[in-house]
Structure 1
Amino acid sequence: MHRSGATMAWNVFKFCTALRGLGSIMILLVLGVVGVSYYAVVFTTYGPALTAGWPDSVIAMAVLILFHCLLVMLLWSYFAAVLTDPGCVPPNWRPAVDEERGEADPLNGSEFSNVQSDPSNQQVRVCRKCNQLKPPRCHHCSVCGRCVLKMDHHCVWVVNCVGALNYKHFLLFLFYTFLETTVVTVSLLPNFVSFFSDAEIPGTPSTLATTFLAFVLNLAFALSVFGFLVMHISLVAANTTTIEAYEKKTTPKWRYDLGRRKNFEQVFGMDKQYWLIPAYSEEDIRRMPVLQGLEYPSKLDFDSQEY
């Protein structure tokens, strides 16, 4: 039994190490797909059409403007998700004490000794691997080797955990990826249809192969990303994460579900001007502690405030 447990721990360690190495490859893969799509759309198909005269030049200009706008937003959101720390537990973090309700500090006296042995305690939890207190909705990532605030999942595509501070960036990356790949697929569809017709197709064999590859890749990405996007929209609407959605719940209603609008604002903020960019306004950061990943109002707290 002891050897079996050691083997399992070693296999998990090898798996986490493989995920870290896979991340760098995924970044190159994303940039590779972007490069192939850019070459097929700009240099091969619609760039030369700019001098073709009316109406081809107008259509080409519209496609290129839309393509570049979405590409800028896609790359901005992607690297924001990659480079933004998802949020970690501050040193010596302690849960807030609500003195108005007369709540005692759960870390005083003998209560703290029971925290580790009582996993049902929703107020205070301790990570056995990090040996530190865990805020609400915080989970330990075996790949990153630390606790992540409001952890959704570890994503090899962004070489990072998706958590409280970069979840919005990740969602916008999915959103703009779906739009961009859909635009590329539709814009290259006439060329793809021409491959299976008797019409003569201009271009060299290499450019034709690149166009064909770009169409297939973008179609595949558009369909797959659409599924992930729909799933995460449903998670945002219920104010839950991927990990929380798959955890076993005994209560019929999720305690952090405050309604679709407030659930949406806890991810995207209240400033509408910032909803479609991977950033938050200073005003939202100041007045919405939930964006920092440490405090999450529950439905009970929200109802009592309204009352």
Structure 2
Amino acid sequence: MGDCCRDAQPFRLCSGLRFLGYIMILLVFAIVAVSYYAVIVVAWGPQLLHGGLLSILAFVIVLLFHLLLVLLLWSYFMVVFHDPGAVPVGWQPASKGTYSALENSVILADHIAIDTRESEFSSTEGSGRRPSIRYCSHCQNNKPPRSHHCSVCQRCVLKMDHHCVWVVNCVGARNYKFFLLFLFYTFLETVLDSLALLPHFIKFFGDARNHSGSPGNLAVTFLSFVLNVAFALSLLCFVVMHTSLVLSNTTTIEVYEKKKAVEWKYDLGKRKNFEQVFGSNKLFWFFPLFSKNDLHDVPALHGLDFPTHSDIEV
């Protein structure tokens, strides 16, 4: 969702997307509430008191449900409230001397063929002569590598992946890990809910025919099962897609750009690519947190500096 919204009508659409995001947050909590009621209150919570193997199975399901729910919500809140990273005002490349004349020409003529000039700068990327310097005509600011302008957030986002209406926020360099963990734990939760509710879903049809059981509980169980199966199948596609993107060190926006490249310069190997998003400390990989060492030693987590093939070779 890059540099769009150039006139009044799309701007209204972008504002509508932000409002839609708040509705999505309520929808997330509604789905969690329905699933909790169906799995814990109706299906497996009462089984804890029966004793025997069934009680042990119920304890395992209830424990896993709450563990995944905590990790899911923790990751979700981190995506919603954590800044993906915005381009600092007046940002300049690290080596300023080589580009001073070029930067001045862009600033003085920012209303004249900006897009043409930007494409010319980008064409030098990978040639070995100098890195590209891009300029955002909306923010009136230079853009670091891999950053893009979000028309919903109205700013340039560092290593922007996409704007997600489900979290009312952009997914970028500083919260991409949290977004991936949210996808992963939500997928596991929906799979667990689907398996836990499957016997009760099958039993639903017998109870419906015999008019036994509470109609409200039957309806909630049926609805929760269908929702969880649908979300599990949908999330599986997203988990597979983003796993592929992480292992190739590519964002959703960069997929097309990568196809045109002979060799993707940010691809440092699967292990290093993974660490560019999750850090190198294994203890923090499955939690929406970064260690102090990773924040200090992995520049890509800050979204301004990204190692490339040439850096590794040197």
Q: Same fold (TM over 0.5)?
A: yes
Find the counterpart in structure 1 of residue 51 from structure 2. 53
CA contact (8 A) 1:141 1:147 kept: yes
Find the counterpart in structure 2 of residue 35 from structure 1. 33
CA distance in 2, matches of 1:299, 1:89: 24
Length, aligned pairs only:
292
CA distance in 2, matches of 1:162, 1:55: 44
Deviation of the 1:258 alpha carbon: 0.5
Q: Secondary structure at the match of 1:25?
A: helix
- Out of 83, 89, 97, the position equivalent to 2:87 is 89
CA distance in 1, matches of 2:91, 2:223: 51
Q: Deviations over 1:125-154 (max 9, x none)?
A: 110110101111000000000000000000
Deviation of the 1:86 alpha carbon: 0.4
Deviation of the 1:47 alpha carbon: 0.9
Give the letter for the 1:119 counterpart. Answer: S
Q: Secondary structure at the match of 2:91?
A: coil
Deviation of the 1:200 alpha carbon: 6.2
- Out of 180, 189, 193, the position equivalent to 1:184 is 193
Alignment partner of 1:164 is 2:173: yes
Deviation of the 1:301 alpha carbon: 1.5
Q: CA RMSD in A?
A: 1.9
CA distance in 1, matches of 2:12, 2:215: 43
Give the letter for the 1:32 counterpart. Answer: A
CA distance in 1, matches of 2:121, 2:215: 65
Deviation of the 1:8 alpha carbon: 7.3
Find the counterpart in structure 2 of residue 101 from structure 1. none
CA distance in 1, matches of 2:60, 2:212: 22
With over 3 angstroms needed to count, the CA separation of the structure-2 counterparts of 1:48 and 1:93, relative to structure 1, is same
Find the counterpart in structure 2 of residue 295 from structure 1. 305
Deviation of the 1:111 alpha carbon: 5.6
Find the counterpart in structure 1 of residue 24 from structure 2. 26
- Out of 250, 260, 274, the position equivalent to 1:250 is 260
Gap regions ≥5 residues in structure 1: 1-6, 98-103
- Out of 130, 133, 148, the position equivalent to 1:139 is 148
Deviation of the 1:91 alpha carbon: 2.3
- State the identity as a percent: 55
CA distance in 1, matches of 2:49, 2:152: 51
Find the counterpart in structure 1 of residue 233 from structure 2. 223
CA contact (8 A) 1:194 1:201 kept: no
CA contact (8 A) 1:106 1:124 kept: no
Q: Deviations over 1:181-207 (max 9, x none)?
A: 000000000011112347968631001
Give the letter for the 2:166 counterpart. Answer: W
Deviation of the 1:247 alpha carbon: 3.5
Find the counterpart in structure 1 of residue 158 from structure 2. 149
Give the letter for the 2:198 counterpart. Answer: L
CA distance in 2, matches of 1:129, 1:172: 32
Deviation of the 1:176 alpha carbon: 0.2
Q: Secondary structure at the match of 2:52?
A: coil
Question: What is the TM-score with the length of structure 1 in the denominator?
Answer: 0.90
Deviation of the 1:252 alpha carbon: 1.5
CA contact (8 A) 1:106 1:112 kept: no
Give the letter for the 1:39 counterpart. Answer: Y
Find the counterpart in structure 1 of residue 9 from structure 2. 11
Gap regions ≥5 residues in structure 2: 108-113, 123-131
